[in-house]
Structure 1
Amino acid sequence: MIKAKKMPLFENAFELYLNPLIRRSFANVFGRDIVQPPSQPVLFIANHSSWWDGLLFFFLNRSVWRHDVHMMMDEKGLKRYGFFRYLGAFSINRSKPKDILASLQYAEQLLLSGKTVILFPQGEEFHQEIRPLGFSTGIAYLMEHCPDVPAIPVSFYYSFRHERKPEVWVQQGKPFYYAEIAGEARKEKTASIEQAITEQLDQLKSQVVSENTAAFRKFTGRRK
């Protein structure tokens, strides 16, 4: 596996590049309940439908959360975009069971050392309307081995509305712990997590469809 190689100077420089890029690419970035977690570390869990997801995590972390974040990323993608290593990305190769375990153990050590980890349990990018989301059991494994670390669900939804450019809507959910997850076996707990994330994503979609902008904070875009 490919380990992260964070470089604070690179993070600072990348922020100067990323913020204007996001403002040029999206008409608006809306966020709901985007607040700094009360503790560190945390495990962020999110649906994965766009290449932008990881960059938006970085943007929100630099804007609000300000954690020492690391992100699990598909090995092919990390090899293609190697600079993500300097932002805290590390790889997983889902075609090799030993590599999967190595990546999960690396994530576990990051959490136990006080680092925050971002995980996309779908493993790959899928259209945001795909159901079921199809989570892998790695999320349950990681929470089982780090039961004192809270997991925080984050949902992304991309949409076109009244602007030439797309909008992205982000919802941050309430933290939960391993002991609160329904089920006994790892598959059962994974299913429970997936159901909760699906419900949050569908609720976010309903807010987007109803254009309930009043419930969201604008991170970019024109302010009225």
Structure 2
Amino acid sequence: MAFIPADESPWFIKCFRIYTWLLFKRRFSNVWLIQDYHPERTSRTIYYLNHHSWWDGLIPFLLNEFRFHQQARAMMEDKQMQRYPFFRKIGAFSISREDPKSSIRSLRYAVKSLLRPSASLYIYPEGKITPPGSNLIFKNGLSWLGKQVSDIDIVPIGIYMHTIRSDKPELHLSVGSPVPVEPKLSNEERSRLFEQKLEAILSDLQQTAGFDDAGFERFI
């Protein structure tokens, strides 16, 4: 399957921004946020997230448009890109889990994207949707990317949905602090470090979301 690059459309992004806000407001009873990371104008950032639902494809767009305001792009499975081609217009580009050569091209494209001013990249290191509560097992793409660009922040974002208080789901998002990484670590050691940081965030969300709103702000 051919590589699909991003093809951002400022007009489409402006319209889709409003649509996305209204969509989340209609489908969720509340959207809550903890934000420990606030990028500077000069920041370059890789955000990595857990991947448990269809909504994960829209959450990066929502966060960037209303909080981070960076030049954002995101990796998306090529099959999903073909099914939802409009994601190109908001900065998504394809990656194939079945074609190693194509994956390398996607990773190189990601590096070039991160060299832009105030650039950011959203990545789901598991590479596929996984059941909620399952152990995080990252591929090495995130670790490899982190080595390619100097002065970059690598930031975990936890996503957790529940219906504890209502038949309509609530969405809790937790943006962590940049993960400090020692240069001497191998890709496997880096991956495990990133897994541990996101696992800690998800564990906190599972214990507090729906029971204690302290520390959260109402995002939508």
Shorter-normalised TM range: over 0.9
Q: How far did 1:182 drift?
A: 7.9
Which residue does 1:80 correspond to in 2?
A: 83
Q: 1:183 to 1:126 in 2, by over 3 A?
A: farther
Please give the secondary structure, in 2, of the residue aligned with 1:83.
helix
Quote the Cα distance in structure 2 between the aligned partners of 1:182 and 1:135: 19
Quote the Cα distance in structure 2 between the aligned partners of 1:76 and 1:123: 12
Please give the secondary structure, in 1, of the residue aligned with 2:97.
coil
Quote the Cα distance in structure 2 between the aligned partners of 1:64 and 1:113: 19
Q: 1:15 to 1:87 in 2, by over 3 A?
A: same
Please give the secondary structure, in 1, of the residue aligned with 2:209.
helix
Q: 1:196 to 1:153 in 2, by over 3 A?
A: same
Q: 1:96 to 1:175 in 2, by over 3 A?
A: same
For structure 1, the 5+ residue unaligned runs are: none
| Residue 57 in structure 1 maps to residue 56 in structure 2 | no
Q: How far did 1:204 drift?
A: 1.7
Deviations 1:95-151 (A, max 9, x none): 1111111111110111112321101101111122111x1100001100011132111
Is the deviation greater in 19-28 or in 184-193? 184-193
| Residue 117 in structure 1 maps to residue 121 in structure 2 | yes
| Residue 188 in structure 1 maps to residue 189 in structure 2 | yes
User: Which of residues 44, 47, 50 in structure 1 aligns to 2:50?
Assistant: 47
Question: How many equivalent pairs are there?
Answer: 216
Q: How far did 1:175 drift?
A: 1.2
Q: How far did 1:164 drift?
A: 2.1
Quote the Cα distance in structure 1 between the aligned partners of 2:182 and 2:84: 35
Quote the Cα distance in structure 2 between the aligned partners of 1:157 and 1:194: 16
Quote the Cα distance in structure 1 between the aligned partners of 2:177 and 2:112: 24
CA RMSD of aligned residues (A): 1.5
Deviations 1:42-65 (A, max 9, x none): 111111111111212211211111
For structure 2, the 5+ residue unaligned runs are: none
User: Which of residues 126, 131, 134 in structure 2 aligns to 1:127?
Assistant: 131
Quote the Cα distance in structure 1 between the aligned partners of 2:141 and 2:208: 30
Please give the secondary structure, in 2, of the residue aligned with 1:213.
coil
Tell me the TM-score normalised to structure 1 length: 0.91
Which residue does 1:98 correspond to in 2?
A: 101
Q: 1:36 to 1:185 in 2, by over 3 A?
A: closer
Please give the secondary structure, in 1, of the residue aligned with 2:53.
coil
Which residue does 1:204 correspond to in 2?
A: 205
Letter in structure 1 aligned against 2:188: K
Q: 1:207 to 1:183 in 2, by over 3 A?
A: farther
Is the deviation greater in 2-11 or in 160-169? 160-169
Please give the secondary structure, in 1, of the residue aligned with 2:214.
helix
Quote the Cα distance in structure 1 between the aligned partners of 2:182 and 2:4: 31
Please give the secondary structure, in 2, of the residue aligned with 1:52.
helix
Which residue does 1:29 correspond to in 2?
A: 31
Q: How far did 1:35 drift?
A: 5.0
Quote the Cα distance in structure 2 between the aligned partners of 1:90 and 1:71: 6
Q: How far did 1:184 drift?
A: 2.8
Q: 1:166 to 1:153 in 2, by over 3 A?
A: same
Tell me the TM-score normalised to structure 2 length: 0.93
- Check whether the contact 2:37–2:178 (CA below 8 A) recurs between aligned residues: no
Quote the Cα distance in structure 2 between the aligned partners of 1:176 and 1:22: 29
